[in-house]
Amino acid sequence: MSILVIAEHDNSSLKQATQSVVAAAKAIGGDVDVLVAGENCGGVAEAAAKVDGVNKVLVADNAAYGHFLAENLSELVAEAGKGYSHILAAAGTTGKDFMPRVAALLDVAQISDIIRVESEDTFVRPIYAGNAIATVKSSDSVKVITVRPTAFDAVPAEGGSAAVEALDTVKDAGLSSFVGEEKAESDRPDLASAGIVISGGRGMQNGDNFKMLEEVADVLGAAVGASRAAVDAGFVPNDMQVGQTGKIVAPQLYIAVGISGAIQHLAGMSDSKVIVAINKDEEAPIFQVADYGLVADLFEAVPQLKEELQK
Amino acid sequence: MKVLVAVKRVIDYNVKVRVKPDNTGVDLANVKMAMNPFCEIAVEEAVRLKEKGVATEIVVVSIGPKAAQEQIRTALALGADRGIHIETEEEVQSLEAAKLLKSVVEKEEPKLVILGKQSIDSDNNQTGQMLAALTGMGQGTFASEVVVDGEKVNVTREVDGGLMTVSLNLPAVVTTDLRLNEPRYASLPNIMKAKKKPLEAISPADLGVEIAPRLSTLKVEAPAARQAGIKVADVAELVDKLKNEAKVI
């Protein structure tokens, strides 16, 4: 068996999710190679070569891959993936975009968002927003899989010394082009991999009030998230959404503030180690999953929390 | 231009999902079913394109059992012009769904195909991308804005870290995210009118597609239940517990 992991990165740094996908690959077994596709991504390839347990790094460095357009990336991966028994990528918005396209080009099924490896052909994944857990077996010769990064402990970023090999093939499907992007700039840790997350819901009432959460986050070194209700209401941008259709997080500590706990939100955070809920409605479903619940007005409790943490 | 919208019949999103005691799947007997929420957004976007004069005809297609015609009628009541029902009682996985839709695309030749980004039952998030690959089209997944401009469509996508806009040649595939639009409700007169709109029923065999699932589900279990913890009296107690009991800060 040999496994090709498609690196998740932003052309300058390797995302930690890649190390979690390598961990999933090691759970399957066999040689693990990593493909870094991007533009001016040599530094990422060097970082990938150092990741513990990586056998070889393939680099496709070309403008066609600079913005990770699925049309181009999928053709590259479908070709570079020939001969591998498994092709794995993180189930972030990039992997979710291009991997099903790879599977279709190879005429195989995709197994989405796995949380456990049972054997080389059998995997465990949540369905129905995590209300059911399915064990599925693939009969395809090549397994195309997206991995939920929070479900696998990242392998160390150091310890490997893989060979780096350049791929010359350029795949430009000519179907799509990049127009622009609006990236939220933040000095706080990445939501998907942060050790502590503090999220706000509809109870925050408006976007300005999220500053209160940001202040607590800065004391704790935490990332700030939100429920779908808060995003839909326009309080905060979409990339902060935690839940079934947003980001899946599993930090050491998750603090839910003014979040009622809709099932779709719980699907995105219920694997957190410790959950704290602050809500003035003591009947809120969030308390059913919280390790520590505080029934209180968040506009009093959150400033107090900041003060108490600074002591 | 013609717009094709694919919709799926799924468990209603308000229904509490229960795993069958024999672990073979989820209990769907006597459970309320509805159009997948992301598919409703897809229908709404097509109807808005028609109201703007961009779309001229909306064809809605669904794959599934006889009862899936209810969801096609719903889409017709919301403003789609005609329906195609690919009837099968078998489980249809994403790759086969994409192959069936590819056959419909080849016959109907739409300029734009709109689908939900994922269905809330299998949570796969695959069919739109697979359809785009099989038909050689570009794809704008997780769309929060769709602007048709001549022979191109600009799609703003909800991605990790923010928003990204791509330009796609038409024909193209778009998959919807939550904030693309807010679907309307069908009015009673439109529900009545929808009953008279054309709905063609065909089989997978008519489209030359064999249903041969590649994935088999060995078992379906309920997730490990999380126990409710304790209520703390105040913020001081909370911080004390986090520091000294849970030891997470």
Interface test with A, best of B24, B125, B146 (most A CBs within 10 A): B125
Assigned token pair, A248: 């899946």
Assigned token pair, B168: 């796609």
> What pLDDT sits at residue B207?
96
Nearest CA in chain B to A287: B228
Quote the CA–CA distance of B128 and B133 in Å, as a whole number: 9
> What pLDDT sits at residue A187?
85
CB B58 within 8 A of CB B81: yes
Q: Mark the ranges of chain B whose per-residue pLDDT is less than 70.
A: none
> What pLDDT sits at residue B228?
86
Q: Are strands B172-176 and A196-200 parallel, antiparallel or unpaired?
A: unpaired
Tell me yes or no: is domain A2-166 CATH 3.40.50.620. yes
Question: Residues with Cβ < 8 Å from A10, sequence gap 6 or more?
Answer: none
Domains and CATH numbers, chain B: 2-244 (3.40.50.620)
Q: Compute how many other C-beta atoms are within 10 angstroms of the C-beta atom of residue B29.
A: 5
CB A94 within 8 A of CB B159: yes
Q: Mark the ranges of chain A whose per-residue pLDDT is less than 50.
A: none
Q: Do B166 and A177 touch (CB under 8 A)?
A: yes
Interface test with B, best of A93, A125, A257, A289 (most B CBs within 10 A): A93
Q: Is A232 on the interface with B (CB under 8 A)?
A: yes
CB A138 within 8 A of CB A83: no
Q: Do B120 and A244 touch (CB under 8 A)?
A: yes
**Torsion sign (Cα): A223, A227, A230, A233:** positive
Q: What is the pLDDT of residues B128-181, one digit of tens each?
A: 999 999 999 999 999 999 999 999 999 999 998 899 999 999 999 999 999 999
Quote the CA–CA distance of A27 and A200 in Å, as a whole number: 35
For residue B215, give the nearest of A70, A137, A294 by CB distance: A137
- Please state the domain extents for chain A: 2-166, 191-310
* First-residue to last-residue Cα distance in chain B: 58
DSSP class of A247: B
**Chain A contact set for B26 (CB, 8 A):** 127-128, 131-132
Tell me yes or no: is domain A191-310 CATH 3.40.50.1220. yes
HSE-CB for A77 with a 13 A CA cutoff: 39
Q: What is the pLDDT of residues A268-289, one digit of tens each?
A: 999 999 999 999 999 999 999 9
Tell me what ipTM this predicted complex has.
Answer: 0.95
> What pLDDT sits at residue A244?
87
Assigned token pair, A223: 């990332």
Question: Helix (H, G, I), strand (E, B), or coil: what is residue A157?
Answer: coil
Give the containing element (helix H, strand E) for B130. helix B127-135
Assigned token pair, B201: 């029923």
Q: What is the pLDDT of residues A48-59, one digit of tens each?
A: 999 999 999 999
Q: What is the pLDDT of residues A149-198, one digit of tens each?
A: 999 999 999 999 999 999 998 999 999 999 999 987 788 998 988 999 99
Question: Helix (H, G, I), strand (E, B), or coil: what is residue A50?
Answer: helix
CB A77 within 8 A of CB A111: no
Residue labelled with tokens 């990242």: A154
> What pLDDT sits at residue B226?
86
How does the average pLDDT of chain A come out, rounded? 96
Q: Is A223 on the interface with B (CB under 8 A)?
A: no
Q: What is the pLDDT of residues A179-189, one digit of tens each?
A: 999 987 788 99
> What pLDDT sits at residue B12?
95
Q: Give the percent of chain A with pLDDT over 90.
A: 94
Q: Is A111 on the interface with B (CB under 8 A)?
A: yes
